[in-house]
Amino acid sequence: MNPIRLRTAAPIVAWSLVALGVSVPVSGAEYPPPPEREIPAPLAGLSDDFESILHTYRWPRAHWSVLVVSMDRGDTLFAEAPDAPMAPASNLKLLTTAAALRTLGPSFRFRTYLLADGEVREGVLHGDLVLYGTGDPSISDRLFPDRTEVFRRLAEQLEALGIHTITGDLVGDASFLSGPRHPEGWDRKDLNDAFAAPVSALSFNENVLSFRVVPSRTAGEAPTVHTIPARGGMVVVNNARTVTSRTGPRLAILRDHPDDAVRIEGRIRKGSRDVWRQMTVSDPALFATLALRGVLEDRGISVIGGSRSVERRTASVIPAQRRVVAPAMGRKQGSRTRVLARHESPPLEKLLEVVNKRSNNLYAELIFRTVGRVRDGVGSEAGAAVAVSDALVDLGMDPGDVVQKDGSGLSAESRVSAGFLVDLLRRMEESPSWPYYWASLPEAGQRRGLRRMYQTPAANNLRAKTGTIQHVSALSGIVHSSDGERLAFSFLVNSTPSPGRAKEVENELGARLASFSRRSGSPLPPGYVAVAQSDDALGSELTHRGDWVSASHHP
């Protein structure tokens, strides 16, 4: 490889004024061809190493968008197609969580209500009891002692009011947020899997159910099917049989679409181990309502009517209104509606840790739609995307090229660049929300964090959001160099045949940044960027973007 040289350019515009990766016109400025200078050895070595690591695997169709910038000095250490629009996978959660902190605030809490749609007299509710959700994703055992803890707390409040009987139905009302249960662009093949749980304003157990199939003690009989939780509201068709030999098709728990019945097919050998499968529920609001009904019955509170769910606002007992934290009470068909019990979720700052550290898609989608509802009173996907864009503009960014189809990044149709993600990190670092944002990012080398880069300089140092969907891998965050310099980075790759191997590349890049030091050479002067001179005669081309300089590598 030819020596790496440095070309001077116009001074980089102050970080506080210009978004990295966004073209900013500078009136009256003309930039003559810059002279060449030798680049300091440490930066030359870093550039060489990055070029080598990025091309470890020869993937003809894969393309990277990469940017590394010093948050302390403001210079670009490495760039490859930094403004290329890419599918970001779960790196899109960085936009969703930033907008949530900006719009809702770290102390925001979701509320869930028990409403009386009728009169309460002498411990009897003459009418329906409505379980009304506003988007809380945390009604499960992830943040509480067990999955029904929230419903027990609501039941205790009914008991304190002396209520022991409901003459009407138990209704699960999920009308607070609109939009489809499965966002645009989600792969239909994923919809049975827990990571693609349906989105609903009323959720329980993260909208997943576990099936356990136990072989019968008698050959020829159907195995026993259990669900956890026990009340799933799912239609199950059991066509399987218990057998004594290993012949025949193995047992399978199948469903073509979340709205279809679950089929138990094949054979399970007598005396063999149970067969398990986790699957998304078809109606989250009904699922939550059935779980609440079980808790009420266990505590001696009788519900005489049936259980049903509501998703359309026109069918809700709550009038259409914009409020997010509490429903406005009113009358419907002559019945008085009032709050009997309420529950508040953990604060948003805790929920965001689940979004980014655990990469939980359901949490991300519900927070995304809630940000939208604050803006337009609806909570649709389209409104949520506009609300996130507004929040980014409020941060001083230009999200004009960003395409956001959902809040989690599970859709392959979303687009964002490495340059935009690096600038987002920098903008958030300057905002009052930074401590909460930083705390939400998983840390390398941690069992409950980013479980990668163990025993490297990145361990207990680098913090970054991961991202993975089919043919896509991503890692964006911040790492301290060996000198303590803060380096913001984003590594995005699309059309990779192996996201797993792409993560090996990301790990090497992250560890290399953590070991980087400028000590053996003079610091990079303001206004300069490293350009790798390839063996190809074309070399590399510098493109001035008004606020930063990128290297565009030509094959």
Instruction: Please report which confidence band the pLDDT of residue 387 belongs to, taking 50, 70 and 90 as the band edges.
Output: very high
Backbone torsion region of residue 223, taken as left when φ is above 0, otherwise alpha when ψ lies between -120 and 50, otherwise beta: beta
Q: Above 80 in pLDDT, residue 36? A: no
Instruction: Please report which confidence band the pLDDT of residue 148 belongs to, taking 50, 70 and 90 as the band edges.
Output: very high
Quick: pLDDT tens for 315-336.
888 765 545 444 544 444 444 7
| Cα-based distances in Å from 109 to 193, 226, 344 | 27, 34, 6
Kind plus residue range of the DSSP H or E element containing 160: helix 149-160
Identify the residue whose tokens are 């361990």.
Answer: 459
Instruction: Please report which confidence band the pLDDT of residue 37 belongs to, taking 50, 70 and 90 as the band edges.
Output: low
Peptide bond before 229: cis, by omega within 30 degrees of 0? yes
Domain architecture of the chain: domains with CATH: 5-24+42-105+349-553 (3.40.710.10), 111-183+286-346 (3.50.80.20), 189-280 (no CATH)
State the average pLDDT over residues 140-146.
97
Contact present, 305 and 293 (Cβ < 8 Å):
no
- The amino acid present at 194, given as its one-letter code, is A
Number of Cα atoms under 13 Å in the Cβ half of residue 83: 18
Q: Above 50 in pLDDT, residue 525? A: no
Contact present, 527 and 9 (Cβ < 8 Å):
yes
Quick: pLDDT tens for 451-485.
999 999 999 999 999 999 999 999 999 999 999 99
Cα radius of gyration (the chain):
27
Residues 6+ apart with CB under 8 A from 258: 181, 182, 191, 192, 198, 280, 281, 282
Quick: pLDDT tens for 417-442.
999 999 999 999 999 999 999 999 99
Instruction: Please report which confidence band the pLDDT of residue 544 belongs to, taking 50, 70 and 90 as the band edges.
Output: very low
Quick: pLDDT tens for 478-503.
999 999 999 999 999 999 999 999 99
pTM score, whole prediction: 0.85
Contact present, 196 and 156 (Cβ < 8 Å):
no
What does DSSP say about strands 5-8 and 528-531: parallel, antiparallel, or unpaired? antiparallel
Kind plus residue range of the DSSP H or E element containing 383: helix 381-394
Start-end of H helices in 441-527: 499-515
Neighbours of 29 (CB within 10 A): 9
Contact present, 405 and 184 (Cβ < 8 Å):
yes
Q: Output the pLDDT for position 537.
A: 26
Number of Cα atoms under 13 Å in the Cβ half of residue 288: 35
Quick: pLDDT tens for 201-259.
999 999 999 999 999 999 999 999 999 998 888 999 999 999 998 788 999 999 999 99
| Cα-based distances in Å from 437 to 96, 158, 283 | 11, 37, 32
- Closest to 148 measured CA to CA, from 205, 226, 203: 205
Quick: pLDDT tens for 89-135.
999 999 999 999 999 999 999 999 999 999 999 999 999 999 999 99
Q: Output the pLDDT for position 315.
A: 87
Select the more confidently predicted residue: 43 or 104: 104
Q: Above 70 in pLDDT, residue 546? A: no
Contact present, 129 and 170 (Cβ < 8 Å):
yes
Q: Above 50 in pLDDT, residue 539? A: no
- Mean residue pLDDT of the chain comes to 86
Q: Output the pLDDT for position 371.
A: 97
Q: Above 60 in pLDDT, residue 157? A: yes
Query: What's the full length of the chain, in residues?
Result: 555
Q: How far apart are CA 358 and CA 446, in angstroms?
A: 12
Contact present, 366 and 357 (Cβ < 8 Å):
no
Largest Cα–Cα separation, the chain: 90
